[in-house]
Amino acid sequence: MANSLAYKLLKEHLVDGEFKKGSEIGIQIDQTLTQDATGTMAYLQLEALGIEKVKTELSVSYIDHNTLQNSYENADDHRYLQSAAAHFGVWFSRPGNGICHQVHLEQFGIPGKTLLGSDSHTPTAGGLGMLGIGAGGIDVAVAMAGGPFYLVVPEVIKVNLEGKLPPWVGAKDIILELLRRLTVKGGVGKIIEYGGSGIENLSVPERATITNMGAELGATSSLFPSDAITASFLRFQDRGDLWNRQEADPGAEYDEQITIDINRLEPMAAEPHSPDAVRPIREIDRVEVDQVAVGSCTNGSYQDLRLVAEILKGKVIHPRLSLVAAPGSRQAFMTLVREGALESLVASGARILESACGPCIGMGQAPPSCGVSVRTFNRNFPGRSGTTDAGVYLTGPAAAAATALHGVLTDPRELGSYPELPEAPLPVVDRRMLIAPPVDGKEVSITRGPNIRPIPLNDPLPGKIRPRVLLVVGDNITTDHIVPGGSKVLPLRSNIEALSDYVFAPLDPNFSSRAREYGSGVIVAGENYGQGSSREHAALAPMFLGVKAVLAKSFARIHLANLVNFGILPLIFSEPADYEKFSMGDELLIVNPGEQLERNEIIIDHLNGNFKITAVHQLSSRQLDILRAGGLLNYTRSQQ
C-alpha cells in the first residue's frame, strides 16, 4: 500500500496494537518537550513513576510561559524544573531563550522522528517533517519513562497548496483559510499533510506557522515533507548532518484531499472570539484598534519580525495604540539585533518583550476594557488576553504592522508595493542558553519551593456514582474556560488545591464553591468539549473538586485523554437531543459504571426528572482499565 507520510512515520514507530484506522496504537516517542506551565506536573509525575533517567533519545524542558515573576511561585517552578532536568537527564532551555516550539524547531527537531510535547502546539515540528503531537503532562512523563504513546489511528487529509503566495499574503493566511473552511473541530481525529507546488516556495518557519495552527483545527498533527528547503534550514542551523528526506509514497492514499490556490488568497483575519471566525480583512469593518501584538509560537520567527520592522522603518505607530513585539526565540532576537531590524522596531515605538509566550497566554499586556487587540498569535478565545470584554483579531505580521501604522484593522495591501526583502541571512546560532544534562544526574537533588505541592490522586472507580449536574455549557468550550491562563492563575499550576478555586471562573465564578458543596459532580457539554490547550490541569483540578464525569456531544482529542488520565468518565450522549434535558443541580445516578463502560451502554438515571438516558464512549480497553484504576498514575504503578 502506498502510504502517506503520516502513516509511514506512525508505522515506523509502531510498538503496540494493530495499525487500523480508528483503533488504538502505541508509538515509540523519540523526543519530548515540556514547558514550565505544564512541566512541573510532568516531572512530578515522572518522580511518582520512580524513574531514574529518561529513556528517550532527547528530552528538553523549556521555560517560556511563566516568565513574569510577580511573586516567588514562577521562580520556584524554574528552580524545580532546572534541578529536575539535571536529575532526569533532560536538556534545560533557560527563561528568555524562547518559546519551546520555535526553539525546538531551530535547535533540536529532526525530520522523521517523533516528538511528544506537553503543549498543544507541538505539531509545529511538522514544519521540519517531524511528527509532533501534543499531550497531557502525564502522557509525556510516561513517554520520557520509555513507555509508548497511545493514540487512535487518525484519518489523513492531504492539503494541496497550489501556486505562489501573492505579495502581502503569508503563511498565516493559508492556515486561516483552512480554519475558515474546516472550523475548530474539522481536524479532530485527523493528521493534515501538506503538498502541492506551493510548498516549494515556503520556508521552514512559514511551514511551521501552518503546522503550528493545525492545533486550532483540533488536528492530531500536521506535516510537511522534509525536502531541499528543510535541508538548507538545518544547514543554516549548523545541523545539516541531521537532515534526511521524508515524503509520502508516490500515489499515497488519503481520506480526503483539499486544494487551496494560494495565489488567489488575500490577507485574512480571525474575528473575536474563535480562530475559525475567519474573513478576508477587506470585508471586515475598519475597527479602531488599541493594541497590536507581534510574536508567539505562530509568528515569532526572524522573518516575521523582520517584515514588521521593514514595514515600520522610518515611521511611527498610530498614537492611539500600543505595539508590543516578542521575538519567538533568542536566536531570532539576536539576528534582528545583528541585522539592524530591531532599531526600526524600537524607533517606530514598538515595545520589545522578552522571547517568551507573554501576552499570548495573558502574561501581561492585557488590552484596555472593551478594547481591540490585533495579534499574530493563534488563539483569540474570550478572556484569554486577560481582558474579559476585549476583542482579539488574529492576523499575519504584515496586517499587524499595517494596523499598527493606521490605528484601524488594515489590509496590508493598502500600504502599496511589497518591501524588497533580501534572502533571510544566516541566523545567529548560539546554544549557550541551552544547558545539557550531566552524564549522571542521580546525585542532583530536586529543589522544591512551597508552591510545589504533591499531585492529588483519584480513587479507583466506585460501584455507584451519585453526582449532581454542576454546569451545563455549550459547544466548543475551551480549556481556557475550564482553567484560565493569565498572570494571576498560571503561577498556581503546581498547586492544584489553590488552582481549583479558578475552575470555570470565566463562565461561572461560583463553580468551585458549588462543586465543593455537591461533593460529586458532572459537567454537561455540547460539541468539541475541551478544545485548545493540552493543560491536564483542566482535568486534574475538576477531578480535585469531585467531578466524576463529563457528558458531552463530543470531545477534543487531548482533553479526552486528559480526562481518562485522571479518572473522569468522558461520556457521549447516544441521543444528542438529550442534552436539552439537563439543568444545573439535577441529581443523577450511575450504577455499576465499570460494568456499563465495558458494555458501552451507560444508563444515566435522572433522579429528579424520573427518566433515564443512555450514554456511550469511544475508549479503548486500555483506557477503560485506566478509568477503573482511577487514573494513569495508579494504572502505570499497578503495571510496574
| Interface residue list for ligand SF4 (CB under 6 A) | 65, 99, 119, 121, 296-297, 357, 360-361, 377-378
Q: How far is the CB of 562 from ligand SF4 (least distance, A)?
A: 16
For residues 308 and 325, is the Cβ–Cβ distance under 8 A? yes
Return all residues near 345 (Cβ < 8 A) that are at least 6 apart: 305, 308, 309, 312, 325, 336, 352
Among ligand MIC, ligand SF4, none, what does residue 333 contact (CB within 5–8 Å per kind)? none
* Closest to ligand SF4 by CB, 152 or 325: 325
Q: How far is the CB of 169 from ligand SF4 (least distance, A)?
A: 22
Among ligand MIC, ligand SF4, none, what does residue 394 contact (CB within 5–8 Å per kind)? none
Among ligand MIC, ligand SF4, none, what does residue 376 contact (CB within 5–8 Å per kind)? none
* Closest to ligand MIC by CB, 65 or 431: 65
DSSP state of 161: E
Among ligand MIC, ligand SF4, none, what does residue 559 contact (CB within 5–8 Å per kind)? none
For residues 571 and 603, is the Cβ–Cβ distance under 8 A? no
Q: How far is the CB of 366 from ligand MIC (least distance, A)?
A: 16
Among ligand SF4, ligand MIC, none, what does residue 411 contact (CB within 5–8 Å per kind)? none
Q: Determine how many CB atoms are found less than 10 A away from the CB of residue 185.
A: 17
Q: How far is the CB of 119 from ligand SF4 (least distance, A)?
A: 5
* Closest to ligand SF4 by CB, 458 or 534: 534
Q: How far is the CB of 587 from ligand SF4 (least distance, A)?
A: 39
* Closest to ligand MIC by CB, 406 or 535: 535
- The span from the CA of 56 to the CA of 235, in Å, is 24
> Where on the chain is the footprint of ligand MIC (CB under 6 A)?
37-38, 65, 119-121, 134, 361, 485, 532-535
Q: Cell numbers at residue 105, please?
A: 524547531
* Closest to ligand MIC by CB, 306 or 375: 375
* Closest to ligand SF4 by CB, 312 or 353: 353
Q: What is the b/e burial string over 304-341, where b = at least 16 CB atoms within 10 angstroms of the residue's CB?
A: bbbbbbbbbeeeebbeebbbbbbbbbbbbbbbbeebeb
* Closest to ligand MIC by CB, 344 or 534: 534
Q: Cell numbers at residue 528, please?
A: 468539541
Q: How far is the CB of 621 from ligand MIC (least distance, A)?
A: 28
Using the Cα atoms of residue 119, residue 124, residue 130 and residue 133 in order, give the sign of their dihedral: positive
* Closest to ligand MIC by CB, 477 or 615: 477
Crossing angle between the packed helical segments 36-48 and 632-639, to the nearest 10 degrees = 30
- At residue 132, what is the residue type? G
- The span from the CA of 86 to the CA of 75, in Å, is 17
Q: How far is the CB of 78 from ligand SF4 (least distance, A)?
A: 16
User: How many C-alpha atoms does 370 have within 13 Å on its Cβ side?
Assistant: 1
Nearest 5°: CA angle at 348, between 407 and 339?
135
Q: How far is the CB of 99 from ligand MIC (least distance, A)?
A: 9
* Closest to ligand MIC by CB, 226 or 329: 329
- The span from the CA of 354 to the CA of 98, in Å, is 8
Q: How far is the CB of 489 from ligand SF4 (least distance, A)?
A: 13
**Whole-Å CA distances, 399 to 42, 406, 571, 597, 612:** 38, 10, 42, 50, 53
Q: How far is the CB of 101 from ligand MIC (least distance, A)?
A: 9
- At residue 279, what is the residue type? R
Q: How far is the CB of 87 from ligand SF4 (least distance, A)?
A: 25
Among ligand MIC, ligand SF4, none, what does residue 110 contact (CB within 5–8 Å per kind)? none
Among ligand MIC, ligand SF4, none, what does residue 535 contact (CB within 5–8 Å per kind)? ligand MIC
* Closest to ligand MIC by CB, 37 or 626: 37
Nearest 5°: CA angle at 174, between 172 and 177?
110
* Closest to ligand SF4 by CB, 535 or 617: 535
DSSP string, 94-135: -TTSB-HHHHHHHHT--TT-EEEESSTTGGGGGGGT-EEEE-
* Closest to ligand SF4 by CB, 360 or 496: 360
For residues 605 and 589, is the Cβ–Cβ distance under 8 A? yes
Using the Cα atoms of residue 340, residue 206, residue 143 and residue 568 in order, give the sign of their dihedral: positive
Among ligand MIC, ligand SF4, none, what does residue 165 contact (CB within 5–8 Å per kind)? none
Nearest 5°: CA angle at 254, between 249 and 255?
165
Name the phi and psi angles at 158, rounded to 5: -95, 125
Among ligand SF4, ligand MIC, none, what does residue 534 contact (CB within 5–8 Å per kind)? ligand MIC
Torsion of CA 610, 616, 619, 623, to 10 degrees: 20
Among ligand MIC, ligand SF4, none, what does residue 296 contact (CB within 5–8 Å per kind)? ligand SF4
Q: How far is the CB of 378 from ligand SF4 (least distance, A)?
A: 5
Q: How far is the CB of 365 from ligand MIC (least distance, A)?
A: 15
Name residue, grid cell 525546538.
104
Among ligand SF4, ligand MIC, none, what does residue 99 contact (CB within 5–8 Å per kind)? ligand SF4
* Closest to ligand MIC by CB, 467 or 532: 532
For residues 295 and 336, is the Cβ–Cβ distance under 8 A? no
Among ligand MIC, ligand SF4, none, what does residue 38 contact (CB within 5–8 Å per kind)? ligand MIC
